[in-house]
A and B are shown apart, each in its own frame.
Chain A
Amino acid sequence: MNEESQKDEITRRDFFLKVSLGLAGIGAMAAAIPIVSALIAPLLEKQNQQWRTVGKLADFQTGTTNLVTFINADPKPYAGVTAKSAAWLRRTDQNDFIAFAANCTHLGCPVRWEKDAHLFMCPCHGGVYYENGNVAAGPPPKPLTRYEVRVYNNEVQLKTAPLPITSINASKNA
């Protein structure tokens, strides 16, 4: 042994103290991995979206706006009714549809279509949208979000999507 290493020599007690603390650290880290992964599980899951049939083509008259319900992309077996979502579907033409998310862009409350007034109205803070989803009144910062829609084998299908989240830099115009 040279001189330098003798200077750095650690005592038996120091050694065991360091080893025991190190072991405790390793134990805590090892246990933390599955714990943290349960905590952030929603961020680790893969996000798949699905096309869901919401009705037959013939069920929807041109110009009408209808409430359609569908099952979310990846429902858990224990989700019960919470697996469902709803959207406002309008047939604009022979093969054209628009589907509006039912969530107000202000804070996510359920907007309802007032068919005589041709407005979407939110019960929470008085948000109102025109027929095309643009903001008509109240606090919503941007137009209603839309789902993708397609006609497939004479069935109208809607593509599931995450809960529409309004970001901080949303603007009133579509």
Chain B
Amino acid sequence: MKKYLKKIWNWIDDRTGITENIVPIMKHPVPPKATWAYVFGSAVLFCFILQVITGVALSLLYQPSSKDAYQSLVFITDKAKFGNVLRGIHYFGASAMIILVGIHMMRVYITASYKFPREMNWISGVILLLCTIFMGFTGQLLRWDSNGVWSSVVAAEQLGRTPIIGKYLARLLLGGDTIGGQSLSRFYSYHVFMVPAMIFIFIGIHLYLVIQNGISEPPKAGRLVEPKKYRAWYKNLLKEKGVPFWPNAAWRDVMFSSIVIICIICLAVIFGPPALSGKPDPSVLTTTPKPDWYMVPFFALFALMPHNIESISMLLGPILTVVILFSIPFISNKGERSPLKRPWAVYGVICVTVFVISLLVIGLKAPWSPHFNTKPLPLTAIKSANPDSTIIQGVHLFYSKGCNYCHKINNYGGIDGPDLTTIGNRLSIQELKVRIVNGGKNMPAYGGILTKEDMNNIVAFLKSQN
């Protein structure tokens, strides 16, 4: 039997050239001491494979039509055997992919692996990064719940700010004048066919380049990259100290990727996929659109940016980011690679990381959003022990006029404006009136909205908060 199998294998091997062509690639020499810092790229690759497989599995259950997609999502989540876990894996897989792409890119930047001769590795990597972000965004739309619908509207509005062609870009994104039957078909095509095809192509190029130029050796302070001598030096390094990629270096990749994938599956089983946010009905307005976490930093940026530079940032921000990313290997492709000798590079990475994480943290809190579901302030929560009728009226008005949505009193209410629990100590009656009448940058001027009596009641209530 064994002899027979061996014969079959020999025939296959002879006709396909596996031993001749593939094995040498697997065993190609790599620089020694390429340790755990080098596992992130392969982990992204394995996450992508996981995404492809779970994506194909989801497509067996999904209806890519504006009319039925939501119902099929409900079916996958609630009825299909393990459908919930499948969605969960696809969601956490996407999250892991975005995090790991980020880490991989930071590692490459900090150790300056993009320098000669690996400039094209970096460029193909940037294209893959952009594709990954686009996949994250369109994937969230395919859920086709109210969040999916409104996220596509928000995206159309952003494209719409582009000078001259904005309206056409928005129309192209939505597939027409408004959200409709054609919208989801287009997002589906982008998410399932077009962008994955690009990712396959660019992963092919990226991996080919890794073989072509070799894995960058771990940097050493003082050992400079000299384009004229580098290739010969690298060849010599591999000849003298190189170790075979399989299995000497690859075991770490396999182990790390396996742990990542097991973690993704565990998270999917424990937490499940993100809940559906309601029917994709654009005429239901009592919904609070919220993007998936990896889009939250952008979402936060639009709330916090000075409003008068917003349009221009929406246009120039992405263009500049892409231009800078593409130009990094051309700004400096030789010299020092060690992070110890490139403190500004490390500092830059830390700054960008802190910036993005801060935006994420504040975006998840979204203090600028009115808390529409805040409960009316009960009389037990106010300072005044024996409130008279004006104060009681003031308490009711504080809720019904929307003050409560943005101002907190004794843990009731939103957090956009200042906490007013002890406002009576800080402002006089006259000062209170001035603020309420005139409003501010993030507060409406209530002068034209409140009657004199309403105003007096609210002020009486606020003054009693001392």
Contacts and interface: CB of A to CB of B under 8 A. Distances in A.
A45 B67 CA distance: 21
A165 B157 contact: yes
Interface in A97-155: 102-103, 106-112, 114, 116-119, 121, 123-126, 128, 130-131, 136-139, 141
A123 B312 contact: no
Nearest to B175: A42
A80 interface: yes
Residue from A42, A78, A114, A119 with most neighbouring chain B CB atoms (10 Å) = A42
Contacts of B312: 168
B66 A82 contact: yes
A82 B307 contact: no
Nearest to A115: B400
Contacts of A43: 168, 171-172
A162 B178 contact: yes
B263 to A, nearest CB: 32
A53 interface: no
A42 B171 contact: yes
B287 A110 contact: yes
B74 interface: no
Given A106-B302, A137-B442, A168-B162, A85 B283 contact: yes
A40 B400 contact: no
Residue from A78, A82, A83, A109 with most neighbouring chain B CB atoms (10 Å) = A82
A167 interface: yes
Contacts of B258: none
Interface stretch (B37-45, B234-242, B427-435, B444-452): B444-452
A1 interface: no
Contacts of A57: none
Given A114-B402, A165-B157, A168-B311, A86 B285 contact: yes
A112 B372 contact: yes
Interface in A33-82: 40-43, 45, 47, 67, 69-70, 72-82
Given A40-B172, A126-B442, A109 B67 contact: no
Contacts of B171: 42-43, 162
Given A137-B442, A163-B179, A84 B281 contact: yes
A77 B405 CA distance: 40
B178 A126 contact: no
B288 interface: yes
A153 B171 CA distance: 34
Contacts of A117: 400-402, 449
B99 interface: no
Contacts of B307: 139, 141
B348 to A, nearest CB: 28
B149 interface: yes
B310 interface: yes
B280 A166 contact: no
Nearest to B71: A80
Contacts of A125: 302-303, 368-369
B98 to A, nearest CB: 22
Interface residues of B, number: 71
Contacts of B172: 40, 42-43
A74 B180 CA distance: 9
Contacts of A161: 177
Residue from B153, B174, B280 with most neighbouring chain A CB atoms (10 Å) = B153
Interface string B192-224: 000000000000000000000000000000000
Interface string B385-423: 000000000000000111001100000000010000000
B288 to A, nearest CB: 4
B227 interface: no
Interface in B35-77: 65-68
A131 B402 CA distance: 14
Contacts of B369: 123-126
Given A76-B182, A119-B402, A163-B174, 18 more contacts: A72-B178, A74-B176, A78-B67, A78-B181, A79-B180, A81-B280, A82-B179, A83-B180, A84-B282, A111-B285, A117-B401, A121-B402, A121-B405, A124-B369, A128-B444, A165-B170, A167-B167, A168-B311
Top 10 A-B residue pairs of the complex, sorted by shortest distance between their CB atoms: A80-B67, A76-B181, A79-B181, A136-B444, A165-B160, A86-B283, A117-B402, A162-B177, A116-B400, A69-B283
Interface of A: 40-43, 45, 47, 67, 69-70, 72-86, 102-103, 106-112, 114, 116-119, 121, 123-126, 128, 130-131, 136-139, 141, 160-163, 165-170
20 contacts: A43-B171, A76-B180, A78-B65, A80-B280, A82-B66, A102-B285, A107-B302, A109-B289, A110-B285, A110-B289, A125-B303, A126-B368, A137-B440, A141-B310, A162-B167, A163-B174, A163-B179, A165-B160, A167-B160, A167-B161
Interface of B: 65-68, 149-150, 153-154, 156-158, 160-163, 166-168, 170-172, 174-184, 279-289, 299, 302-303, 305, 307, 310-312, 315, 368-370, 372, 400-402, 405-406, 416, 439-445, 448-449
